[in-house]
Structure 1
Amino acid sequence: MLHLDADALGRALPPRALVEALRGMFKAGADAPLRHHHTLPSRDDERPGTLLLMPAWQAAGQGYIGVKVATVFPDNPGRRDLSAVTALYYLAEGGSGRPLALIDGTLLTRLRTAAASALGADYLARPDAETLLVVGTGALAPHFIRHHAAVRDYRTVLVWGRDPAKAAAVAEGVTPDLPAGTTVSAVPDLREGMAAADVISCVTSASTAVVPGADLRPGQHLDMAGGFTPLMRETDDEAMRRSRVFIDTEGALVECGDLVDPLKAGVITRDDIQGDLFQLTRGERPGRGRADEITIFKSVGTALEDLAGAALAYETVSA
């Protein structure tokens, strides 16, 4: 059985290859039950932790079986200098259950989350998009920049966060991984960054809206991947009113505040959801229509994405 640590996994999953693996998996389909959430005890002055169990499998004899075991402790980065999300992934052979690999699930989660957002942008961002704004400076931010840059030829990448020093560090750290000539820098003012951006990608743990919908301009694409509970929001109701809204899977409708709140309040209805990644990859729903429309893509993640990434890594290393 293979053991892939973070270094080996990173080498096995180049951004464009992972985006295409997710495209193929969504198009083909796999069984991925809604993840199990279990609240974990924490200190009185910290937010509760979460245990996530995420299985997925393909048809017998045609693919793989996998399960991710993950923990989420939101206060880890500030209190212990640890990742908020830590995980381990187990991959087995479809049809037999033969163990194949044990994989670093923490990096796998970050990579597939970024790849799913980039896949959504490939259908929804304008083909001529030149400027990317990443909102957030946590562990996901560099991966989102690399993966979004794999589907669009950005000339400029901007990074905004509440801590300017962290934004500058993200920009400096990711610059060597981007094509020569790409300008990467921190932007001190969020609205300034929004005014310049063609694509805005949010990777925060915010509980109240960060991106004001009133400031979105025609033709922009807003990607949100940070919020994964009904108590988390990265944008407001106005953004939802003004945009064509897409999701990664049906889970987004019940798991994130950016959709749960406006649906509950009647700001949007279920019929306003334009499609998901299954429908986009299969050509069942159109992506971007007009050049001047505002699009939103909200993702919460699915075990199908983990399975796609783990399978690609296993096949790459085993070749």
Structure 2
Amino acid sequence: MASNDSYPNSANPVFISADSIHSILTHKSLIQHFHSSLPKVSSTIHTPLRQNYNVSPSSSLLLMPSWSSSPSFPYMGVKLVTHFPQNSALNLPGIHGSYVLFSSTTGQTLAAMDGTVLTLYRTSCVSGLASKILARKDSKILVMVGAGALAPHLIKAHLAARPGLQRVIIWNRTMKKASDLAAELRKRDEYKGVCFESDENLEGIIEMGDIVSCATNSEVALVRGERLKVGAHLDLVGSFQHSMRECDDEAIRRGRVFVDNEGALVEAGELVGAFERKVIEKEDVVGNLVELIEGAKTGRRDEKEITVFKAVGSGVVDVLAAQMVYENFLKLGRND
């Protein structure tokens, strides 16, 4: 943790590229950082609701600010994200992001960094941390539902959190994307001993998953709760609007449900829909990630229990990830 007179007094703002973030962060190190830092700083970081502006009928600009009121964590930051879904016709990503980090002591600009890559790491590592706490210790099979930009990060985060995983099965609506991702991961030296494969039979592989991780924009439930095996851990990352849902009501009913933060109770389609249909009440959601880390709420109680973790993201983990990138960038004496 930075002290009040340490890194934030760096004289000149720095730019930290996507390549630099990849060289600075590992999923294991960021999971550890969240585990140790979230309980210390979450109560002192202010995160207003994200601001969403329509810049055209189909395009939008999102602003996500956060700032610390504690001198022991002297940072504030803003993530800026553009959503241009029509970019697919130009063979360009639909989402682009930047993160700007400031000193909360002096207000000076400290760094600008690639917000897209930062978000991929922080999102996957929040899920990895939840998996470390909630998934069975003897988990062997990870099922990855979705093969987009977030999928390889989620796979790496779950492998870092649960190194006993031996098999990863990937499903995607476009199966070529799933098979291509499996082939890419098979080439990585650090995953020797792990079997990567793709399978188009989604219901069949759901039944096999000790951990089932979902990162899609689906508005139709993909994971049917009746298919979840006893003792499974279900990780839901994709939905952030009421119209989206990656699992059905039965999955929510069967599982003990946890969230990354309270925003999930009002944003996530799986939960909002379940509340409206009286499948569960808000009070049935057991707790959030900080409460799990602190032990204020009990995670997995036995080997047969199904656990569900729903994440929607927050400015707290954004600024914690940016802090780690910035401080390590300075330690390494980098100059992009």
Q: Same fold (TM over 0.5)?
A: yes
Q: What is the alpha-carbon distance in structure 2 between the residues aligned to residue 291 and residue 75 of structure 1? A: 46
Residue number in structure 1 paired with 2:45? 31
Q: Does 1:61 align with 2:71?
A: yes
Corresponding position of 1:15: 27
Q: Is the 8 A contact 1:34 1:251 kept in 2?
A: no
1:103 is matched with which residue? 113
What secondary structure, in the 3-state scheme, does the structure 2 residue paired with 1:55 have?
strand
Q: CA deviation at 1:42?
A: 4.7
For 2:236 and 2:107, the matched residues in 1 are separated by 35
Q: Which moved more, 1:256-265 or 1:64-73?
A: 64-73
Q: Name the stretch that deviates more: 132-141 or 190-199.
A: 190-199
Partner residue of 2:150 out of 140, 144, 151: 140
> Where do 1:116-155 residues align within 5 Å?
116-153=126-163, 154-155=165-166
CA distance, structure 1, for counterparts of residue 288 and residue 170 of structure 2 = 27
How far off its partner does 1:266 sit?
Answer: 1.2
Partner of 1:279: 291
TM-score normalised by structure 1 residue count: 0.94
1:69 Cα deviation from its structure 2 partner: 0.8
Q: Secondary structure at the match of 1:150?
A: helix
Q: Give unmatched runs, 5+ long, in structure 1.
A: none
What's 2:10 paired with? Answer: none
In the TM superposition, residue 75 of structure 1 has moved relative to its aligned partner by 5.2
The 1:133/1:174 distance shift into structure 2, 3 A limit, reads same
The CA deviation at 1:85 is 2.4
Secondary structure at 2:179's aligned position in 1? Answer: helix
1:91 is aligned to: 101
Task: Report the residue type matching 2:45 in the other structure.
Answer: D
Aligned residue pair count:
314
> Residue type matched to 2:35 in 1?
R
Q: 1:317 to 1:41 in 2, by over 3 A?
A: closer
Q: Deviations over 1:49-98 (max 9, x none)?
A: 4432111222343221111011234454x433333321110111231122
Identity, in percent, stands at: 37
Q: Distance in 2 between matches of 1:167 and 1:34?
A: 36
Task: Confirm whether residue 51 of structure 1 aligns to residue 57 of structure 2.
Answer: no
SS of corresponding position for 1:261? helix
Which one-letter code corresponds to 1:82 in the other structure?
L
1:311 CA drift (Å): 0.5
In the TM superposition, what whole-angstrom CA distance separates every residue of 1:192-218 from its partner, at most 9, and x where no partner exists? 211221000000010111111111121
**Are 1:164 and 2:187 matched, yes or no?**
no
What value does the CA root-mean-square deviation take over the aligned residues?
1.5
Amino acid at match of 1:137: A
- Residues 130-279 of structure 1 mapped to structure 2, 5 A cutoff: 130-153=140-163, 154-175=165-186, 176=188, 178-279=190-291
Going from structure 1 to structure 2, the CA distance change for 1:212 and 1:37 (only over 3 Å counts) comes to farther
CA contact (8 A) 1:123 1:287 kept: yes
Equivalent position amino acid for 1:129 in 2 = S
- Distance (whole Å) between structure 1 residues aligned to residue 48 and residue 134 of structure 2: 25
**Shift in CA distance, 208/42, structure 1 to aligned 2, threshold 3 Å:** farther
Residue 41 (structure 1) shift: 5.0
Please give the per-residue CA displacement for 1:257-277, whole angstroms capped at 9, x wherever unaligned: 111111112111011101101
Contact 1:49 1:74 in 2 (8 A): yes
Verify the 8 A CA contact 2:47 2:316 in the aligned structure 1. no
Q: Is there any run of 5+ residues in structure 2 with no aligned partner, and where?
A: 1-12, 332-336
Check the 8 A contact 1:35/1:52 in 2, yes or no: no
Distance 2:252 2:258 in 1: 10
Q: Distance in 1 between matches of 2:216 and 2:192?
A: 28
> Which string of whole-angstrom CA distances, capped at 9 and with x for unpartnered residues, describes residues 150-202 of structure 1?
01021111110111110011112223064311111111211221122100000
Q: Conserved in 2, the CA contact under 8 Å of 1:13 and 1:309?
A: no
Query: Letter of the aligned partner of 1:33 in structure 2?
Result: T
Matching residue's letter, 2:67: W
Structure 1: distance between partners of 2:289 and 2:189: 27
